[in-house]
Amino acid sequence: MMRFLRSAAGFPAVVAQLHEMVADGGAISRRLADGDDDAAFHAAQNARLVKNAEQYYRSMFSSRVSSWNLRDRHMAETLAELDGHLSRRHGRPARIAVWAHNSHLGDARATEMGEGGELNLGQLVRERHGAAAALVGFSTYQGTVTAASDWDMPAETKQVQRGLEGSYEALFHRVDSARFRLMLRGNAELAEALAPPRLQRAIGVIYRPETERQSHYFHARLPRQFDALIHLDATRALAPLDSPRDVGAAVEPPETYPSGV
């Protein structure tokens, strides 16, 4: 495991974390001996992470679908273990909120991603918990976002292009409201109106406006993808908590600069 990680360029953070886990092994063992349930859970989760990380990094040399599915299965496995741990500790079913990008939380079976063989956390949670799970998505038509241009590149404040025609973003922009929510579960009339597949934008760690149609849009069926959706017509980039004050201050000019057309 360690030999593999050292030989794979681009994984220094993972190697450092594994070294830290080994260094903490003695302290964890002492807490386990004292009957610390949290320490036992943390130790088991760290071991699970090491096992799943090796599978994930090996899969990166094969296909995107394979690595994506392994990553979201790990997320679902971690969530299930956390659910069990908290439920046992408190003697009642745990209530957990998970914050992640739409492409992880919306049911992949209702999207072009699922048709290509990808699954995600939202799908796995629905399969496990059924109606006890609520999948909530977010959308925006324009604004700014904090994202990088590529992996391992610094985060920037980027201008979000206006939603493409034929997309959910463009459809919601035509609603006379700067922000609203759609309750999709159990609303037959709304589900029928939004049933045909439309383009949907996905912005995550990376945002490339110059290739937005190819790299950030896919077709989805919103009523099957989410239980509810919150639309903010114009969004504003968040500054990372661990960044200097001036990070994100410079916003790239709009596409129409300087004419304003």
Residues 38 and 97 placed together within one structural domain of the fold: yes
pLDDT for 22-42, tens place per residue?
A: 566 556 555 555 567 788 888
Residues 231 and 161 placed together within one structural domain of the fold: yes
Give burial (CB, 10 Å; 0-12/13-18/19+) of 260: exposed
The answer to whether position 27 is within a domain reads yes
Domain residue limits at 20: 2-102
The answer to whether position 17 is within a domain reads yes
Q: What is the pLDDT of residue 26?
A: 57
Residues 144 and 75 placed together within one structural domain of the fold: no
> Which CATH number does the domain housing residue 224 bear?
3.40.1660.10
Q: What is the pLDDT of residue 224?
A: 97
Q: What is the pLDDT of residue 41?
A: 84
* One-letter amino acid for residue 216 of the chain: H
Residues 9 and 98 placed together within one structural domain of the fold: yes
b/e 128-153 (16+ beta carbons within 10 angstroms → b) = eeeeebebbbebbbeebbbbbeeeee
The answer to whether position 227 is within a domain reads yes
The answer to whether position 261 is within a domain reads no
Residues 63 and 9 placed together within one structural domain of the fold: yes
Residues 93 and 142 placed together within one structural domain of the fold: no
Question: pTM for the full model?
Answer: 0.76
Residues 7 and 88 placed together within one structural domain of the fold: yes
Residue ranges of the chain with per-residue pLDDT less than 70: 1-35, 61-63, 243-261
CA 139 from centre of chain:
14
Domain count, the chain: 2
Residues 11 and 96 placed together within one structural domain of the fold: yes
Taking each helix axis from N to C terminus, what angle separates 25-33 and 12-23, rounded to the nearest 10 degrees? 40
The answer to whether position 121 is within a domain reads no
Residues 143 and 220 placed together within one structural domain of the fold: yes
